[in-house]
């Protein structure tokens, strides 16, 4: 999901999304009438899928805009007639579902951001939100249905509960059948088409196994119907769950669509409410289980990929550890000769001050180069020293100076101007210098690679913490997609180990700010 929630008001691009949503709402709302019946709710409600797709792709900050769009559509179609008796109640009934959907999406995103279980790994949060939102709306609507039964056009407790059950079933089917393809289309339009679900095996065997399992389940179900043993959902449920677990969410969704294409045309004709509701509830169980099984399989596959990537990073870290030991040995060997050379170059420069101009300039150049090389070796020796493995009090100005020395060559190669504001000398943090420098370097390198000409680094105290802000503008004022790369994942882990935080923000002008916050331990005397 994209990093939504920046700004309270929708931007111009969001207004286009809202206009498109209103048009899609009208079309899908008419399509839902085929499964309407006694009561206000339809047993298949595609507008719910369009609503969930927009909220998940653009963020819950569009909730109020979606409410306004739906109320405008319902006013235009005559359901809400301002001034007539009960129009406020009707308006509340229209506004309630998108408000609850927005709240559920926001809550699921918050929980997923702070959870560490497999339920927080994409696409499981979307699956949980897709199942939870329709149920939550039905729970919220229950008091209204009991107090205002005229809203649903039914009377009696049995019909009220049947109407709400139909509402839940219709929303679940609409969300789980329509939201996934809409999100895939949005993702393809934003990032280009990509391979989405097939595992690392031959396509022929994947399709063959899926067809064999699902075809067998459907044939067995139809056989039971033919011999008057009811319409069992267990064979289709097991088949769809198997396909979802084996091949992922997209394959599971394709199997769901096939099952729905068999059941839904059957329920459009004249059929008793109880029988139609039973069939749709059975279909809903198949859809929910299949989609969650596929989402779980995709989440596990992503978790395995993350673990494999972390293993590779650990192997690389071991290599770097060996390389560090070798580098320290080399630096130790060349450090003493370079120090001697720097001293001799300085002496040569001093005694040639009054000599011929060309000799003096040559001596001065040798002195500068030797001093620079000696300082570089001194910094490398200090950076690779064992003493830096232990936490110590570190001036932030020294950290920024070291970071600047490490990233300037890359910034120069990419023609990016590196602007560093003066840092107060009394800002001191406690930590491991190598790790903190690495964390800041990773963030600055990310900014340089995405910058449009300039990267700014500022550090200032904020109460009992110091904040280091890295600011850059993205080309074309287009904010990058969510996900900050491995470098930022490492930086975040380092900062959290030092009781720090990393926050990334993007404003409407395309300005990206990464703010690193660390606790202060005192002031330099």
Give the span between the Cα atoms of 480 and 503, in whole angstroms. Answer: 15
**Alpha carbon separation from 228 to 158, 220, 221, 225 (Å, rounded):** 28, 13, 11, 5
The residues with which 395 forms a beta bridge, in sequence order, are 428
DSSP 266-320: GGSSS--HHHHHHHHHHHHHHHHHHHHHHHHHHHHHHHHHHHHHHHHHHHHHHHH
pLDDT at 383: 61
Per-residue pLDDT of the chain (525 residues; tens, 9 = 90+): 333 333 444 556 678 888 888 898 888 888 877 777 555 567 888 899 999 999 998 888 899 999 999 999 888 888 788 878 778 878 888 889 999 999 999 999 888 877 767 667 778 888 889 889 999 988 888 877 777 666 555 666 777 777 788 888 888 988 989 998 898 888 777 665 554 444 445 666 777 888 888 888 888 888 877 777 766 778 888 999 999 898 888 888 999 999 988 888 888 767 777 788 888 888 888 988 988 898 888 888 888 888 888 888 777 777 767 776 777 677 777 777 777 787 888 878 788 877 788 888 888 888 888 887 777 777 666 665 555 556 788 889 988 988 888 888 888 888 888 999 998 888 899 888 878 888 898 899 888 888 878 899 999 988 889 999 999 876 554 444 433 445 677 788 888 888 889 988 877 677 888 999 999 885 444
pLDDT at 118: 65
Locate 63 and state its tokens.
Answer: 């909730």
* Contact criterion met (CB below 8 Å) for 495 and 516: yes
* Contact criterion met (CB below 8 Å) for 235 and 213: no
Regarding pTM above 0.95, the answer is: no
pLDDT at 330: 73
Q: Tokens 């033919």 correspond to what residue?
A: 226
Locate 95 and state its tokens.
Answer: 């506004």
Closest among 167, 82, 166, 180 to 129, alpha carbons compared: 180
Q: What is the 3-state secondary structure of 22-55?
A: HHHHHHHHHHHHHHCCCCCCCCCCHHHHHHHHHH
Other Cβ atoms less than 10 A from the Cβ of 64: the count is: 16
Closest among 96, 21, 2, 11 to 66, alpha carbons compared: 21
DSSP 461-504: EETTEEEEEEEEE-GGG-PPPS--HHHHHHHHHHHHHTT-EEEE
Q: For the chain, percent helix, then strand, then coil, each to nearest 5?
A: 70, 10, 20
pLDDT at 197: 45
Q: Tokens 């559920």 correspond to what residue?
A: 104
pLDDT at 63: 92
- Residue spans of alpha helices (H) in 46-86: 46-58, 63-76
Closest among 385, 372, 314, 309 to 346, alpha carbons compared: 372
Q: What is the DSSP letter of 7?
A: S
Give the span between the Cα atoms of 148 and 146, in whole angstroms. Answer: 6
**Alpha carbon separation from 433 to 427, 428, 429, 478, 523 (Å, rounded):** 15, 12, 10, 34, 18
Give the span between the Cα atoms of 14 and 54, in whole angstroms. Answer: 10
The backbone torsions φ and ψ at residue 417, rounded to the nearest 5 degrees and listed phi first, read -80, 130
The sign of the CA dihedral 364, 369, 374, 379 is positive
Q: What is the DSSP letter of 414?
A: T
Give the span between the Cα atoms of 235 and 237, in whole angstroms. Answer: 5
pLDDT at 152: 57
Cβ contacts of residue 427 below 8 Å, gap of 6+?
395, 396, 397, 459, 460, 461, 466, 520, 523
Cβ contacts of residue 493 below 8 Å, gap of 6+?
none
* Contact criterion met (CB below 8 Å) for 401 and 418: no
pLDDT at 106: 93
Q: Tokens 């079309």 correspond to what residue?
A: 27
Q: What is the DSSP letter of 511?
A: E
The residues with which 430 forms a beta bridge, in sequence order, are 393
Locate 453 and state its tokens.
Answer: 């000409």
Q: Tokens 């420098």 correspond to what residue?
A: 437
Give the span between the Cα atoms of 286 and 288, in whole angstroms. Answer: 6
Q: Is the peptide bond before 123 cis (omega within 30 degrees of 0)?
A: yes
Q: b/e per residue, 333-343, with b = 16+ CB within 10 A?
A: eeeeebeebbe
């Amino acid at each position: 999901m994209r990093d939504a929630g920046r700004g309270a008001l929708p931007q111009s691009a969001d207004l286009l999304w809202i206009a498109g949503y209103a048009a899609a709402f009208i079309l899908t709302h008419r399509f839902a009438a085929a499964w309407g019946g006694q009561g206000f709710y339809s047993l298949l409600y595609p507008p719910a899928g369009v609503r969930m797709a927009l909220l998940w792709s653009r963020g819950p900050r569009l909730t109020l805009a979606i409410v306004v769009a739906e109320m405008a559509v319902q006013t235009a179609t005559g359901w809400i007639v301002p001034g007539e008796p009960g129009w406020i109640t009707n308006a509340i009934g229209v506004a309630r579902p998108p408000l609850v959907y927005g709240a559920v999406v926001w809550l699921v995103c918050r929980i997923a951001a702070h959870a560490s279980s497999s339920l927080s790994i994409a696409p499981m949060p979307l699956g949980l939100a897709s199942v939870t939102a329709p149920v939550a709306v039905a729970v919220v609507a229950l008091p209204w249905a009991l107090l205002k039964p005229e809203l649903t056009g039914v009377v009696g407790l049995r019909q009220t509960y049947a109407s709400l059950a139909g509402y839940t079933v219709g929303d679940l089917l609409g969300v789980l059948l329509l939201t996934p393809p809409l999100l895939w289309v949005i993702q393809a339009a934003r990032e280009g088409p990509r391979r989405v679900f097939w595992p690392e095996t031959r396509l022929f065997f994947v399709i063959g196994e899926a067809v064999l399992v699902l075809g067998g389940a459907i044939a067995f179900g139809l056989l039971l119907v033919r011999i008057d043993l009811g319409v069992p959902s267990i064979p289709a449920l097991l088949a769809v769950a198997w396909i979802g677990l084996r091949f992922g969410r997209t394959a599971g969704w394709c199997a769901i669509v096939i099952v729905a294409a068999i059941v839904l045309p059957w329920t459009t004709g004249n059929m008793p409410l109880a029988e139609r509701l039973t069939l749709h509830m059975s279909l809903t169980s198949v859809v929910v289980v299949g989609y969650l099984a596929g989402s779980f399989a995709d989440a596990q596959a992503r978790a395995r990929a993350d673990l494999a990537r972390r293993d590779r990073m650990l192997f690389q870290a071991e290599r770097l550890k060996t390389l560090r030991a070798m580098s320290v040995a080399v630096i130790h060997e060349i450090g003493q000769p370079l120090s001697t050379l720097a001293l001799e170059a300085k002496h040569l420069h001093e005694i040639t001050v009054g000599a011929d101009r060309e000799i003096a300039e040559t001596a001065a150049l040798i002195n500068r180069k030797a001093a620079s090389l000696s300082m570089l070796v001194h910094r490398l020796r200090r950076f690779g020293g064992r003493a830096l493995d232990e936490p110590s009090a570190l001036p932030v100005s020294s950290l920024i100076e070291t970071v600047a020395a490490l990233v300037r060559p890359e910034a120069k190669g990419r023609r990016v101007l590196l602007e560093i504001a003066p840092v107060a000398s009394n800002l001191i943090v406690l930590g491991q210098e190598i790790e903190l420098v690495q964390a800041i370097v990773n963030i600055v390198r990310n900014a340089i690679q995405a910058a449009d000409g300039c990267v700014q680094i500022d550090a200032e105290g904020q109460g009992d913490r110091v904040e280091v802000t890295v600011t850059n503008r993205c080309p074309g004022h287009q904010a990058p997609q969510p996900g900050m790369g491995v470098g930022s994942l490492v930086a975040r882990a380092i900062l959290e180990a030092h009781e720090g935080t990393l926050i990334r923000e993007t404003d409407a002008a395309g300005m990206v700010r990464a703010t690193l916050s660390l606790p202060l331990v005192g002031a330099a005397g």
